[in-house]
């Protein structure tokens, strides 16, 4: 692999920026669907770091971790969207703030 001048640090910097943007979005947005998308951004930031470090270490382990992250992200989206659908059936247009109604 020829990456002269393009060290792992660049990938990690991009990964950190993407993770922070996703985190800010998760804190700011109130639409649960958009919050899920921000979680996907954060997961992808970690995936970038995994693949870059795996390439740096010459180890397939980074790609394996990304594989498992992909699977867990898929299950997370399925369950999360099912929850969103179930909540919206009861209370249309619910935002994340309305989850406080769940407390007794």
Partner 1 sequence: MAELVFLVAALIILVGAVGVVASRNPVHAALFLVQTLVGVAVLFVLNDAHFLAAVQVVVYAGAIVILFLFVIMLLGVDKAEELRIEPIFGQRPLAAVVGAALAALLGTVVIGGADVLTGLRRAGGDRALDGDTTDIERLGRVLFSEYAFAVEITAALLTVAVVGAVVLTRRASHSDGSTPVDA
- Residue numbers 74-93 binding partner 1 by CB under 8 A: 74-75, 77-79, 81-86, 88, 92-93
C-alpha distances out from residue 71 to 53, 65, 74, 75, Å = 20, 10, 5, 6
Q: Does 101 bind partner 1 (CB under 8 A)?
A: no
N residues, the chain: 104
CA gyration radius, the chain: 17
Question: With 0-12 CB in 10 A as exposed, 13-18 as middle and 19+ as buried, what is 101?
Answer: exposed
Instruction: Please report, as residue ranges, which positions from 38 to 67 form the binding site for partner 1 (by CB under 8 A).
Output: 38, 40-41, 44, 47-49, 51-61, 63-64, 66-67
As measured in angstroms, the least distance from the Cβ of 102 to partner 1 is: 15
Question: Rounded to the nearest whole angstrom, what is the least distance from the CB of residue 65 to partner 1 in the complex?
Answer: 10
Q: How far apart are CA 33 and CA 36, in angstroms?
A: 5
| Selected binder of partner 1 within 1, 100, 102, 104 (CB under 8 A) | 1
Is 3 an interacting residue with respect to partner 1 (CB under 8 A)?
yes
Q: How far is the CB of 99 from partner 1 (least distance, A)?
A: 13
């Amino acid at each position: 692999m020829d990456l002269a001048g393009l060290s792992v640090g660049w990938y990690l910097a991009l990964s950190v920026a993407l993770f922070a943007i996703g985190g800010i979005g998760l804190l700011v947005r109130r639409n649960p669907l958009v919050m899920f998308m921000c979680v996907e951004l954060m997961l992808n930031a970690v995936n970038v770091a995994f693949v870059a470090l795996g390439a740096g270490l010459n180890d397939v382990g980074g790609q394996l971790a990304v594989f498992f992250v992909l699977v867990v992200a898929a299950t997370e989206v399925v369950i999360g969207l099912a929850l969103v659908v179930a909540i919206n059936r009861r209370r249309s247009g619910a935002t994340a703030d309305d989850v406080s109604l769940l407390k007794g």
